[in-house]
Amino acid sequence: MAVCIAVIAKENYPLYIRSVPVQNELKFHYTVHTSLDVVEEKISAVGKAMADQRELYLGLLYPTEDYKVYGYVTNSKVKFVIVADSSNTSLRDNEIRSMFRKLHNSFTDVMCNPFYNPGDTIQSKAFDSMVSAMMVQAS
Amino acid sequence: MAQCVQSVQEFIQDSFVPMVAVLCSEDAEKVTRKNNLNFSELLRPFCRLTSEGHMRDPSNQLQVVKNLRISVNNVVTRPSVPSSGVPGHAHRRLLSEVVLTCQPAEGGVANVITAGDYDLNISATTPWFEAYRESFLQSMPASDHEFLNHYLACLLVVSSSEAVPVEKFLKLSQEQHRIQHSGEYTNPKWFIPNTLKYYVLLHDMSQGDEQRADSVYEDMKQRYGAQGCYLLKVNSRTAAAGADEQIPDPWSQYLHKSSLQSQVQLGPRLSVPSIYLLMYRTSEVDGHDSEEKGSLDNTHPLQLDTPSDTPGSLDALRAVAVETKPPPLTTGVAAATSHGACLTLNDHDRIRLFIQEFTFRGLLPHIEKNIRQLNDQLVSRKGLSRSLFSATKKWFGGGKVPEKSIAELKNTSGLLYPPEAPELQIRKMADLCFLVQLYDLAYSCYHTAKKDFLSDQAMLYAAGALEMAAVSAFLQVGAPRPYPAHYMDTAIQTYRDVSKNMVLAERCALLSAEVLKSQAKYSDAATLLIKMTSEDSDLRSALLLEQAAHCFINMRNPMVRKFAFHMILAGHRFSKAGQKRHALRCYCQAMQVYKGKGWSLAEDHINFTIGRQSFTLRQPENAVTAFRHILTNDSQQTSTQQGAFLREYLYVYKDTYFHDVD
């Protein structure tokens, strides 16, 4: 279960950030922002060699003491970042991948909405509900 | 890490220098006091040797010693810093003073770094970190497991105006012997049982009989040998000499530092009348707590105050505005006094020559002799006992444990070797070699010592040997082996976990980070620095975080956001440590990265903190601008949070623009 999910545009500003424990939101913002560095490093590293075969799922970006940060890049350079609790060790790679896939599908749905301007923050209720389903239940 | 003034080699070599003690007689003190200096201070600017020395290593090869520096100190029998791993209160205050007084120049040199789509305007050098590092390394206490800080030689100084100088010399010599061998004093520590004694006859040219001085000197030469004594003539300037001759004053920079270190007072006359022992730290330092309690309490770095806290913080802001700033710490020596007023340029040259003579004729041969002696001891002992020991181990296997190790293995962390133990001899030899730049020999000795210590489970000693082995491997000319970073990591870990000695661990970390930076391994250096940050010392954590941030920005693909994040953490620690201006500077630099990028929560937080800090530092216009930024964005904060922001803004605005009305 994720504690924070973020969607970041090509120009590196956030389109959507949601985190569960609302009081510590700032910390997650900072974590996501910093993880962008690692994302960029991974993209640039792979890009030169095989430009077509680049994998979308980037895997574990970096572990901090309490959290693990995972990344995923679409072909239009939109990035998804999931921050998950480290104590929850039952999260396997496949589960994270499926979470990203669901995110990606919902995101494409949002894009398909003719009233949505690319570059705006995401305010779709469907997207919201999908994300809530993935997050840890607030206790 | 930011670029430093010294290169890596210079820095490491300057951190470990041969130490020389000084014992002065009263009259000699009076002579130097005319210049507002004591004897060791007189020598200090000339301690870096400009010419090269030569010495032979045990295999009789000639080695060149370049750019040697020695460190001359008075004999201080009071322990200045407790030798436990925790720095004392006075020590911490000294370090924070050093950092406080070293601020970036207004409008100083700034680099524009372009990384991706970020254009950052930051300075590439951090002089306050270098100042901190220097005073930290200088004030490290001498410990038992390593010999680098121990005194190698002692200068005995007597004035030529004494009635019977020879007798005085004898007395001083006995005094030194007593201090070293009587076992009453744990400080200072001496390297070898027979310390080199060098006799200096100090002659005051402005008063005193030159003929007599020369004849006494001849006598001394007969007695102690031409290599063991020196006639130093000072104070050639007569009082009436023209004031238009500009004599350079190299002492002021050294004295400024040492007056921060010691509230210099001439100690009371002891029962032994011929010796002045300067007290380096008075027990009660009159003065004020330089750690002001800032208006930011212990908050999490990323926390914004909830509305319940803000009335308190507003009061705190008001309190700060009302109280006057504490007066700056007055140093013991006023800056206006001049130093070296009685010395001409000739005298400067003479002092320089004296130090050169002392080092090349006295100190280096002494070291060489000792290295040779220790080497002989080791070779002979190694041959015999090694084979016996390993033979007995082989025959008796795991059943019988040899007697020797039971006696020594009391307790892994508290293991103490007797001073004549062969392992310590190896360590001594390695330290001697290191001090005179024989790095190959030093490395092999450290390596052997490390193996011994590890097999004996003497972890503190092993960590010391590992640390120095890594450094000497790095400094070896020709670099036959790559820098063993894992040695350093093990050493740091041992210091922290087993011996709980944060001071030594910090020294390791500083050395290792510098080396990694010179090899362009910035991410390793950054990880190392971040690991060293801890809760017990705010100033240290702040400085290390800032250096880690600079590492990130200096990488080949600069990690700009990591730089910004660590700058914010560093800024928070700075403000907790009471260094407000540094904190403000850090936050402003981080702001450049976050500005206008759409991460509104983060931006708000930084603006808020900048506003607060500017206000406490009496820069109200900046504070108002910063707060206004928060209010003009489409804030995504909660309503209570927005209310809090508005309140702060109104308070600051009122204070700035309507100050006269109140």
Question: Under an 8 A CB cutoff, do B561 and A14 touch?
Answer: no
Model pLDDT, residue B388? 53
Q: Interface pTM (ipTM) of the complex?
A: 0.74
pLDDT recorded at residue B318: 45
Q: Say what the pLDDT of residue B353 is.
A: 87
Residue A72 distance to chain B (closest CA, Å) = 18
Positive or negative torsion for Cα B442, B448, B454, B458: negative
| Residues B49, B356 contacting (CB under 8 angstroms) | yes
B144 pLDDT exceeds 80?
Answer: no
Query: Inter-chain contact B557–A36, Cβ cutoff 8 Å?
Result: no
Q: Does B601 touch chain A (CB under 8 A)?
A: yes
For residue B598, the chain A residues in CB contact (below 8 A) are 13-14
DSSP-assigned beta bridge partners for residue A135: A2
Interchain contact A42–B (C-beta under 8 A):
no
**pTM: predicted TM-score of the whole model, two decimal places:** 0.76
Q: Write the CA distances from B308 to B304, B312, B643, integer angstroms.
A: 11, 8, 11
Give the tokens for residue B435.
Answer: 């001090």
**What is the residue whose two structure tokens read 């009071």?**
B78
The vertex-A24 CA angle with A21 and A28, nearest 5°, equals 95
Residue A33 has its nearest CB partner, among B117, B557, B602, at: B602
Contact at CB, B598 and A36, closer than 8 angstroms = no
Joined together, the tokens standing for residue B423 give 């392992």
Q: What is the DSSP string of B86-150?
A: S--HHHHHHHHHHHHH--PPTT---EEEEETTEEEEE-SB-HHHHHHHHHHHHTPPP-SS--TTS
Which pLDDT does position B297 carry in this prediction? 38
Per-residue pLDDT, averaged over A18-36, amounts to 80
Asked whether residue B331 carries a pLDDT value surpassing 50, the answer given is: no
Give residue-wise pLDDT tens across range B244-283: 456 667 777 666 655 554 432 222 333 333 222 222 233 2
CB B566 within 8 A of CB B552: yes
Q: Is B385 a residue whose pLDDT tops 60?
A: no
Between B81 and A23, residue with greater pLDDT = A23
Closest CA of chain B from A109, distance in Å: 24
Mapped onto helix, strand or coil, the DSSP state of residue B501 is coil
Nearest residue on chain B to A29, alpha-carbon basis: B602
Kindly state the average pLDDT of the residues A78-86. 84
Query: Is residue A29 less than 8 Å (CB to CB) from chain B?
Result: yes
Nearest residue in B to A27, CA atom: B302
Could you tell me what percentage of chain A is helix, strand and coil, using 3-state DSSP and rounding each to the nearest 5?
40, 25, 35
Average per-residue pLDDT for chain B: 74
* DSSP state letter for B183: S
